[in-house]
Amino acid sequence: MKVLMFGWEFPPHITGGLGTACFGLVKGLARHNVQMIFVVPRLFGEEDQTYSKMLSASDVEINERNFSYSSYIEHLQKIEINSTLLPYVYPEDFARMMSSETEYIHGIELPSTFKAKYQFSGKYGTTLYEEVSRYAMIAEVIARENPHDIIHSHDWLTYPAGIAAKKASGKPLVIHVHATEFDRSGENVNQFVFDIEKKGMEEADRIITVSNLTRNIVIERYGISPDKVFTVHNAVEPVELKEIDQIRGFDEKLVTFLGRITYQKGPEYFIEAAHKVLKRTENVRFVMAGSGDMLNKMIRRTAQLRIGDRFHFSGFLKGDDVLRVFSMSDVYVMPSVSEPFGISPLEAMRSNVPVIISKQSGVSEILTHAIKVDFWDTDALADAIHALITYNGISDMFRKYVKTEVESLKWENAAYKVKEVYLSAL
């Protein structure tokens, strides 16, 4: 079986859990004799290509021989969205390729001959919508030129690419929902993104969600038939902890938050709970590792509460830096408001760190040896933190079981379930 897989990021160049999950799944599928072509907007040269062939969309040329622009326009009209962002859907670059010899397709003026390569940033910047559209154009070419049995697209950024690839090759499309717009934005959804998500779900032959929580959102909020939506929980890669330096530099207990500092991840609840803990004990420090649009607000809030001297804002961490902060941590907290899954608690447990997670997370569906609280209940969160840093018997009990539990959550097992979804689509 050969899979054409579209992603947006791949380790070591990642901004969150999506790239980590993609690598784990690719590695797991390889162990089940699944051959993969993994496509990203841009390759940086350091990606591990042991388990799949990797293609950079930035290296693919489109021209009049391998790309049907009229077909592409027809495809885009089907996903047309009433939005002020519509210009991003039709890349303006084609206007720059105008020559004296032109033809008209559906009223759009185009060059009679053209060729182009698009240089993708591979980031989540100001040209994101434009890059999503261009990625779909490149996907059509890749699908025509690379034989495959299944198309697999990860998250909304690659759904248009998956749809274009399916149209080009006629192969079944599986989309992987790692998060929805309701997770990212609450009820204030970006209509443009929501419509892309909904169209991707409607066009897909099968949908994989990372939790039952997310599966219910797909069915109830997007109106998708339950018959084609399957839950496959994420997993975690094993790691050799003995290779990681453990240098603390202080004697106090360390409580860690690691994730994007955005509304979805609940950083404000972490800070409010920390304030309550510090009223009961001073033998503790807190670290907030990550970046996001709420970072400055969180820094100001610690100053208002006069706990800034007990807080460390480390910025975004990845790779060995994540392992190091876990190796120094006594407690890991994930107070997410809406978390489709949440790989970071598994990474903490892998390092023998007791974890506190919100009940509003997908990972809570599969973890037994974790303390679960409602994200908004800062009193319960503070009590849980205080108990773990104060009473050795409680923390020792969790440390005894967490690593054993997380070792059973292997990507190889998750990949087996994904392959079963592929087979059902075929």
Instruction: Give the CATH H-level superfamily of domain 2-235+414-425.
Output: Glycogen Phosphorylase B; (3.40.50.2000)
- Proportion of the chain above pLDDT 90, given as a percent: 68
H or E segment to which residue 153 belongs: strand 150-154
Convert the pLDDT of each residue in 267-325 to its tens digit. Answer: 999 999 999 999 999 999 999 999 999 999 999 999 999 999 999 999 999 888 898 99
Residue with tokens 């876990």: 326
Q: Which two tokens stand for residue 173?
A: 């499309």
Q: What is the CA radius of gyration of the chain?
A: 23
Answer yes or no: same fold for 2-235+414-425 and 241-407: yes
Answer for the pair 224, 230: CB distance below 8 angstroms, yes or no. Answer: no
pLDDT of residue 81: 37
pLDDT of residue 71: 58
Amino acid at 415: A
pLDDT of residue 72: 55
Q: How much is the pTM? A: 0.85
DSSP symbols for 360-373? TBGGGGT-SSSEEE
Question: How deeply is 400 buried, as exposed, middle or buried, from its count of CB atoms within 10 A (0-12, 13-18, 19+)?
Answer: exposed
Q: Which two tokens stand for residue 293?
A: 């649009």
Cα separation, 206 vs 422, whole angstroms: 8
Number of Cβ within 10 Å of residue 190's Cβ equals: 15
CATH number for the domain whose boundaries are 241-407? 3.40.50.2000
Amino acid at 334: M
pLDDT of residue 247: 66
- Roughly how many angstroms between the first and final C-alpha of the chain, as a whole number? 10
What is the average pLDDT value for the chain, to the nearest integer? Answer: 87
Cα separation, 426 vs 424, whole angstroms: 5
- Tens of each residue's pLDDT in the chain, 426 residues: 999 999 999 988 887 788 999 999 999 999 999 999 999 999 888 888 999 999 999 999 887 666 665 555 555 444 443 333 333 233 333 334 333 333 333 333 444 445 667 788 767 766 788 889 889 989 999 999 999 999 999 999 999 999 999 999 999 999 999 999 999 888 889 999 999 999 999 999 999 999 999 999 999 999 999 999 999 999 998 876 655 556 677 889 999 999 999 999 999 999 999 999 999 999 999 999 999 999 999 999 999 999 999 999 999 998 888 989 999 999 999 999 999 999 999 999 999 999 999 999 999 999 999 999 999 999 999 999 999 999 999 999 999 999 889 988 999 999 999 999 999 999
pLDDT of residue 280: 96
Domain spans of the chain, in order of start: 2-235+414-425, 241-407
